[in-house]
A and B are shown apart, each in its own frame.
Chain A
Amino acid sequence: MSNLKKLTKMRLFLPVFSMILVMAINVVYDIASGNAPFNFFTISLNNGVLYGRLIDVLNRGSEVAILAVGMTLVVSASAGTDISVGSVMSLTGGMCCMLLAGYGVTNVSEYAMPLWAGIGAGVLIACVCGLFNGFLVAYMNIQPMVATLILWSAGRAVGLLLCNSQIVYVRVASFQKIGAYVGAIPTPILIAAAVVAIAALVLRFTALGTYIQSVGINKKASRIAGLSSAKIILLCYVICGLCAGIAGIVATSRIYSADTNNIGLNMELDAILSVALGGNSLGGGKFNLAGSIIGAYTIQAITTTLYALGVSSAQAPVFKAIVVILIVVIQAEPVKEYFKKRSAKKAVEGGVQA
């Protein structure tokens, strides 16, 4: 009993519980339709690469997981969201492919300039976007949503301009590898793992995490305590831009082309949702990075589950909404309070009877 209580009191309990709940739907479905019960969780080696729905969730969820890292920090420090990340992804892809293919060229099978230069420039422009957002929020005191709204609309447009409004294909094996496989493992999974690991290590072994939370909780008090609040907020937006850049490169490499109209489309919403699903308050302050990452994979798990269940595309958004509402509601304070009170009441009644 006390062990269970300890478990339910852990901060990550609810996000993890939600994810398991989503995946459990598949077990029920597989049993009902006569498949092996753990079909969803089976991982095998097919054609020399890892194969299975769980791998799909990890692979396809990479971009949102990477975005969630930056978004968590932005939310924590500035009590606002960066809604430009999807657009910045597209801009990054456009920049990278335009440089690799050459301006105005739509289809190449060899690089116009070295791969590192294309990727570097793409990620760099994403960082500049982050710097711009951060400057507006931290130094101009513009509301985060308004400040990032500028690049939300302009980022994709600039990307389209860079690519001359065409889809630019870079059909070179080394570029495609970023979105394909390294050995048996999908590369996006490795990239996402690396980003998460680096972020976790930096937050754990430096004071940055504490600084960010302190600025998020009270900007003025932190400044009086000697922290440069504005600089920390600026840094968070730059990190968020960097994450968007990395996610953009992954998304672009998957399709070895800069489809600037579609890359990262609406992905900022998934990133914000994963922060919320991870049990983080969008009001800033304390944050839980692991929760956000779990949230990101939960969103992908919902999508993959809907595919597995064969829910028609027209109805899928409704199911997605219902699942999201359930997850958000079970994490809501009043619901938590209710269960706490109930268990307390039960404990009292139990005591009386004994």
Chain B
Amino acid sequence: MNKKLLSLVLVAALAMSLLAGCGAKDDGKTTTAAPAGDTTTAAAGDETEAAGTTAAPAEGEDTTTAAAAAGNTTGETIKVGYAQVGHESDWRTANTKNYQDVFSAANGYALSFVDCDNDNAAQLEAVRGFIQQELDYIVIAPIETAGWDTVLQEAQDAGIPVIIADREIDAPDTLYDAWVGTNTKNEGITAANWLAEYLDGKEANILVIEGSVGASATLGRTEGFNEVAAEHSEWKILDSQSGDFTQAGGQEVMESFIKSYEGQFNVVVCQNDNEAYGAMDAMKAANITYGVDGDVILISYDATHDGLQYTLDGAINCNVECNPIQAETVAGVIQAMATGGSYEKTTLVEDQAFVAPGITSEYATTMTQEILDGRAY
């Protein structure tokens, strides 16, 4: 009898934990930024909550109708739907907050924001929801590259312009109206240009710790960097291995590099900050100095808060960021569409690079404490 009771309790506990898991991952719920001043910040306040919370309007009405009413009666507020990838990183959170700030009621927008939590099906559903709600514009940060044709066709049939943001999709460009985002290839080019400027014709023996095999950031950053590297006969890429975008991976690969190319390398390129942390640990253990005062030049990508702290401390020479602040550019395109102005089919959001104090560069900003404190993420 006791055993049965125990089993029941265990099963119940499991069911609860599963439910809890689902609760946090719950998606498809719309956070509608209602036409009230402080609601956007309320919605952006806690990133994990952002998926499930509906920002309460100041007037206390039901949010969905509030947004709809604003569109129907005034006809001036532009209704924008944003199907966000998820909230998997600080970068993504900063991107979400940026959209909520720009497409605020104060700016004359009603933003329907859906956090799709990396679920492709939920994202397709979200876009269909936008179409049914007859929003004015749909912005999608696609989770997957393929499988968009049908839903984009539905949007087109409904006459709603679609803007693809942040990532690329694999669909005929007649099915969407504009693309706004960053280009990882440009990040690679920026890093290499900075290196060329910094070395000023000196020899470079480069080790690359790549990101995950096949990831678009890996491909783009490698392609861009190699393109510039090919122009420099004094540069040699000794080896290139994947560290899977993780700190443990970066550390393991760097440990191996140190043994294979002891004393032969003077540049290490890590394709994200986490790998750079691992590489730094591995070099520290082997008594190899890096950074501004060291023997090895360390280049990293992503420019996360911690990564920039290391850049400010001079441990990372150059940190190239993938800019999450894209909403202004999207808003510009939407304005052009609304007023019948001209806009580019694809618009690149400019990336930034940061270099350690003591370095000045035409490709990058020199890091200061103020820049770090002023970062959105």
A residues in contact (CB < 8 Å) with B: 46-47, 49, 51-53, 56, 60, 107, 132, 135, 139-140, 150, 154, 157-158, 161, 164-167, 169, 180-181, 251, 254-255, 257, 259, 261-263, 304, 307-308, 310, 312-314, 316
Contacts and interface: CB of A to CB of B under 8 A. Distances in A.
A165 B286 contact: no
A255 B3 contact: no
A135 B7 contact: yes
A251 B248 contact: yes
A158 B13 CA distance: 13
Contacts of B239: 310
B246 interface: yes
Contact of B241 (A51, A154, A307): A307
A349 B3 CA distance: 66
B256 A304 contact: yes
B213 A313 contact: yes
A313 B88 contact: no
A154 B14 CA distance: 10
A316 B247 CA distance: 20
A312 B208 CA distance: 11
B248 A259 contact: yes
Interface string B1-33: 001000100100010011011001100000000
B285 A161 contact: no
B156 interface: no
B13 to A, nearest CB: 9
Contacts of B253: 307
A68 B180 CA distance: 48
Given A307-B256, A308-B260, A257 B247 contact: yes
Given A154-B17, A161-B24, A47 B252 contact: no
20 contacts: A46-B287, A53-B256, A56-B255, A56-B256, A158-B17, A165-B47, A165-B87, A169-B306, A180-B285, A254-B251, A255-B278, A257-B247, A259-B246, A259-B248, A261-B88, A263-B248, A307-B241, A307-B253, A312-B241, A314-B242
A139 B256 contact: no
Contacts of B244: 262
A165 to B, nearest CB: 6
Given A53-B256, A262-B246, A313-B241, 16 more contacts: A46-B286, A46-B287, A135-B10, A150-B14, A154-B18, A158-B17, A161-B24, A164-B48, A165-B88, A262-B248, A307-B241, A307-B253, A307-B256, A310-B241, A310-B260, A313-B213
Nearest to A317: B213
Contacts of A312: 240-241
Nearest to A35: B260
B302 interface: no
Size bin of chain B's contact surface: 35 or more
B210 interface: yes
Contacts of B21: 154, 157-158, 161
B48 A52 contact: no
**Interface core residue of A157, A251, A308 (most chain B CB under 10 Å):** A157
Interface in B180-196: none
Chain A to chain B: the 6 pairs with minimum beta-carbon distance, closest first: A313-B242, A47-B287, A307-B256, A255-B247, A262-B246, A157-B21
A139 B8 CA distance: 12
Given A52-B259, A255-B278, A307-B256, A47 B286 contact: yes
A321 to B, nearest CB: 15
A240 to B, nearest CB: 18
A255 B254 CA distance: 14
B222 to A, nearest CB: 11
B248 A139 contact: no
Contacts of A49: 285
Interface in B255-300: 255-257, 259-260, 274, 277-278, 285-287
A140 B10 CA distance: 12
Nearest to B277: A255
**Interface core residue of B88, B239, B248 (most chain A CB under 10 Å):** B248
A139 B3 CA distance: 9
A53 B255 CA distance: 9
Contacts of B252: 56, 60, 307
A140 B7 contact: yes
Interface string B106-124: 0000000000000000000
A157 to B, nearest CB: 5
A53 B244 CA distance: 21
A154 B259 CA distance: 39
A304 B252 CA distance: 9
Nearest to A305: B256
Contacts of A140: 7
Contacts of B14: 132, 150
Nearest to B25: A157
B93 to A, nearest CB: 9
Nearest to A164: B48
B259 A56 contact: yes
Contacts of A47: 285-287
B30 to A, nearest CB: 21
Contacts of A139: 3, 7
Interface in B207-226: 210, 213-214
A53 B259 contact: yes
Nearest to A303: B252
A262 B89 CA distance: 13
A255 B7 contact: no
Contacts of B214: 314
A55 to B, nearest CB: 9
Contacts of B274: 167, 259
